[in-house]
Amino acid sequence: MSRTVPVLGGTAPAAVPSTLKDRSVTPHHRRAVTAGAVVVTLSGLVLGVATAAPAASAPEPATATLLAPYYTELDLTGDRQVTADDLAVVAENLGATDADPGWDELAAVDVDGDGALTVADLAGVSQRMVYDDGPFELVEADVVAMQSAMNAGVTTSVEITQAYLDRIAAYDTTLVDTADGGRPLHSIITTSDVALDAAAEADAIRESVGMTSMLLGVPIALKDNYNTHDMPTTAGCGCWDDNQTSTDATMVEGLRSDGAVILAKATLDEFAFGFASEYSAYQPAGQTTLVASPYVTSRTAGGSSGGTGAAIAANLAGIGFGTDTGGSIRVPSSYNQLVGVRPTIGLASRDGIVPLALSQDTGGPMARSVTDAAVALDAVVGIDAADPVTARQEGKVPESYTASLDADALDGARIGYVPSMLGNNTTTRRLWAETVTTLESLGATVVEVTPPTSSSPVLPNGFTSVLGEGSGSTNEFRHDLDEYVATHLAPGVEARTLDDVLDSGRFVTSRRSTYVGRAAVTEATYEAWAGPEGTHTKVLAEGKVLVTAMLDDADLDALVYPSGNPYGTQGTNLRLGPNTGLPSVSVPVGQAVAADGTVTGGGVNLELLGRDFSEGTLLGLGFALEQATEARTSPALYPALD
């Protein structure tokens, strides 16, 4: 079977499409692809190499859009990617051996290691291109599969977007689980009326200038507390059904700038309060709905980003975004066998996201693979004057997080754990033991860590005090929400205070006492808690110092602990990231089986936590673990549509 491998390209368009215009945030990077066309045809033999003359107005040479070693290590032409130019070099040198002068420059592409360049090596190098002309399967497709298929012309962003819309229509509100207690997912609040237009624009960009980023044309589902100028932002509350903001959240600007298609807004626990993912948006007063996990639909998808978790797990969108204050990315990631990233506070702007507690709030990706999470994170980093804490990232963000995606990343790594964080859940302990064996087989050293039991008046019990500090959601919510209302809430929305929310009757009424309590928090209470000299502020600052010292003293690359148990949390583990501001990546390691006596099919994630702005390291470690275990499963209840 012949395989034709083009480098997509062409002349630059006369006007830059709106999705690629610079955004207000200072972006960390901007990438483009090369013009010109090179075609190499393989059919058992090399039949030919043809190079098209570049147009006079051709763009600058390409820089790589995917820096994972697998896609860069066989580059021969210095552009950090495998293109048809590299294939041409291999083709021109077929028959060369390790006895020939200049072999050192070619040895990297001797894929089979036999000391000679053959057609087999040419075929092996071609596999390192972001290109695949074979059949495309939407279910479980990652961004590499999507881009490869779109680059080959096998599918388009319009087709992928329509396929996700079809899956949402077929599955999201349909009862497909006939077991006792089975429920519809209810993971999507609304779909975009202009998603197909955005997809068509992405296809036009690809046709005109090639693949401009790994997100070009990829459909994204956002938790419905991210502002979007083309869909209302309800925060899950019926009181805000009409909150059509005029601008996007800064993170959404970044996604659109990289060519992503904003497909839908995902359901969430109302105002991100808890882990149940119960919401009242677009329902009559007094009525609410719970989000279900696609693996065991009688169980919650977790929260507060439960809709994102359920939708991405059930393949209703390409990649998702959630927010995390005290676990709201990592809980639904664990419940739904996803990779969840809670970034360092200051890596991604929170401007335009409905807040819960800004001392701990952060947005981040939720994805079916570490690769997808890394690609998504690349799009949303940047310094934003509207969120001053982002200035901390200056000089600390890599060109691309995908550069860390190395299957050998665990070799030589030191991974620490605190025994008390493991708990006693049968499934979790079994998977922990299996994972330790895997980590050690990959060259990591797993180190038991004894945390400090005392530290300072602020942390009298040391590490235990860090884990014991509560969420800021009670004392900060009113203050931070008032700022959002003043800056972003659509003028026509009547519920502009917590008292207004209560008066509207359109909220999760079982939480009336929570709203009443948070509405009563005074500015003095807020300042005493979260002000510059507030008690909470001091705990978070000293907590970061203490945990960083734990990492340094034991020469650790990361601490590891369970994000939770099957459909449940584990102690106060989830507080470690929020109470230090340090980043973490939660990765699936397996599921409960009947013999465990827990919840059969329930997922368990392990969470890797590291130093400030060490997302690259954590993603690399998580990638190596993911590649070794292949632990994620696709929910059987939601197969490919006919």
pLDDT tier for residue 224 given thresholds of 50, 70 and 90? very high
Q: Is 126 a catalytic residue?
A: no
Per the model's pLDDT, the better-predicted residue between 26 and 191 turns out to be: 191
- Give CA–CA dist 306/326, Å, rounded: 14
Domain ranges of the chain: 3-63+67-126, 157-402+410-470+532-629
pLDDT tier for residue 486 given thresholds of 50, 70 and 90? very high
Inform me whether the pLDDT recorded for 558 exceeds 80. Answer: yes
Average pLDDT over residues 537-566: 98
Q: Is 510 a catalytic residue?
A: no
pLDDT reported for residue 444: 98
Task: Name the pTM for this structure.
Answer: 0.92
- Give CA–CA dist 374/608, Å, rounded: 15
Per the model's pLDDT, the better-predicted residue between 168 and 36 turns out to be: 168
Among 244, 382, 219, which Cα is nearest to 316's? 219
pLDDT reported for residue 7: 30
User: Tens digits of per-residue pLDDT, 430-474?
Assistant: 999 999 999 999 999 999 999 999 989 999 999 999 999 999 999
Please pick, among 304, 333, 400, 404, the residue that the annotation labels catalytic.
304
pLDDT reported for residue 246: 97
Least confident piece of the model among 31-45, 235-249, 553-567: 31-45
Inform me whether the pLDDT recorded for 27 exceeds 60. Answer: no
Average pLDDT over residues 538-564: 98
Averaged pLDDT of the chain:
91
pLDDT tier for residue 370 given thresholds of 50, 70 and 90? very high
Sheet holding 3-6, edge to edge: 3-6, 38-42, 46-51
Per the model's pLDDT, the better-predicted residue between 355 and 6 turns out to be: 355
Please pick, among 126, 187, 277, 328, the residue that the annotation labels catalytic.
328
Average pLDDT over residues 535-551: 98
Per the model's pLDDT, the better-predicted residue between 412 and 54 turns out to be: 412
Per the model's pLDDT, the better-predicted residue between 454 and 6 turns out to be: 454
User: Tens digits of per-residue pLDDT, 121-163?
Assistant: 999 999 999 999 999 999 999 999 999 999 999 999 999 999 9
Please pick, among 148, 223, 265, 305, the residue that the annotation labels catalytic.
223
For the residues of 556-583, what is the DSSP string, one character each? Answer: -SEEEEESEETTEE-TTGGGTTTTTT--
From residue 612, alpha-carbon distances to 11, 345, 465, 617 in Å are 41, 8, 20, 11
Among 383, 125, 105, which Cα is nearest to 254's? 383
Inform me whether the pLDDT recorded for 44 exceeds 70. Answer: no
Average pLDDT over residues 292-318: 98
CATH topology of domain 157-402+410-470+532-629: Amidase signature (AS) enzymes (3.90.1300)
**SS3 call for 543:** helix
pLDDT tier for residue 63 given thresholds of 50, 70 and 90? low
Inform me whether the pLDDT recorded for 175 exceeds 80. Answer: yes
Beta-bridge partner residues of 27: 382
Single-letter amino acid code for the residue at 214: M
Q: Is 396 a catalytic residue?
A: no
Q: What are the structure tokens assigned to 559, written together?
A: 């601490």
User: What angle, rounded to 10 degrees, do the helices at 119-126 and 84-92 form?
Assistant: 170
Could you tell me what percent of the chain has a pLDDT over 70?
Answer: 90
